[in-house]
Amino acid sequence: MKKILLHTCCAPCAGYVIALLEKEYSITAFFFNPNIHPIKEYIIRRDELLRYSASKGFSVIEGTYDQRQWFTFVKEARFLGERSERCRRCITFRLQHAFEKAREESIETVCTTLTISPHKDAKMINEIGLALAEKYGISFLTADFKKNDGFRKSLEISRAENFYRQRYCGCVYSAFPLYRGRRSHK
């Protein structure tokens, strides 16, 4: 069976993608998400993925949580919205590390769960992945996992597995809308 390194942002996004890919691939999930803020949120998402991997039997590699490096990489575009240059930089940063890890682990294909989200631009993600595939000489599995009811199916798996479901993508900038209007008026 071919090996695949699946960049994984969280268990809710991974459930359906893993169910699809496990038919053809031996999956190693790569949890590399230094964009997730705060650290408490990162730990919750990581631990949920680890719990799921223990029940489903796939392995997980955790990348380094270095927010300083991530902040530096996205700095110029930090205040742009979802699907913007900020997201392009963030996804590039994370997938670049996935390709480096795949090379290190001698895994011939990389993929990401990010295209399951209706908030993410699958075309942009796949373009980034294909460019990195050319750079690293490692295959990238293009996909738009939200198609064919993929997102709905991921929600069903999330409910069945009782996954913690986050309310924002992960970075502090994507969380801003959640905090608007929460300030106390003294």
127 within some domain: yes
Going by pLDDT thresholds of 50, 70 and 90, the confidence category of residue 180 is low
Residue 86 has pLDDT above 80, yes or no: no
Which residues are registered as beta bridge partners of 62?
Answer: 31
Task: For residues 185 and 153, give the distance between their C-alpha atoms in angstroms, rounded to a whole number.
Answer: 42
175 within some domain: yes
Structure tokens at 36: 């997730």
Crossing angle, helix 85-105 and helix 67-74, to 10 degrees? 130
50 within some domain: yes
Residue 108 φ then ψ, to 5° = -85, -10
Q: What is the pLDDT of residues 148-175, one digit of tens each?
A: 999 899 989 889 998 866 665 655 555 4
3-state secondary structure of 72: helix
Strands of the chain (E only): list them.
Answer: 2-7, 25-31, 59-62, 109-112, 139-140
36 Cβ neighbours under 8 A, 6+ residues apart: 42, 45, 170, 171
Domain count, the chain: 1
163 within some domain: yes
CB 17 within 8 A of CB 40: no
97 within some domain: yes
pLDDT averaged over every residue in the chain: 86
109-112/139-140 β-pairing: parallel
| CATH assignment of the domain containing 99 | 3.40.50.620
CB 7 within 8 A of CB 111: yes
Mean pLDDT for the stretch of residues 68-96: 75
CB 111 within 8 A of CB 94: no
Task: For residues 90 and 51, give the distance between their C-alpha atoms in angstroms, rounded to a whole number.
Answer: 26
184 within some domain: no
Structure tokens at 173: 């900038």
Residue 174 φ then ψ, to 5° = -75, -20
109 within some domain: yes
Q: From residue 28, give the alpha-carbon distance in Å to each of 14, 44, 56, 90, 127.
A: 11, 20, 12, 21, 22
Task: For residues 85 and 78, give the distance between their C-alpha atoms in angstroms, rounded to a whole number.
Answer: 9
186 within some domain: no
CB 34 within 8 A of CB 11: no
pTM: 0.88
For residue 73, what are the domain limits?
2-179
**pLDDT at position 183:** 42
Q: What is the pLDDT of residues 43-72, one digit of tens each?
A: 999 999 999 999 999 999 999 998 787 768
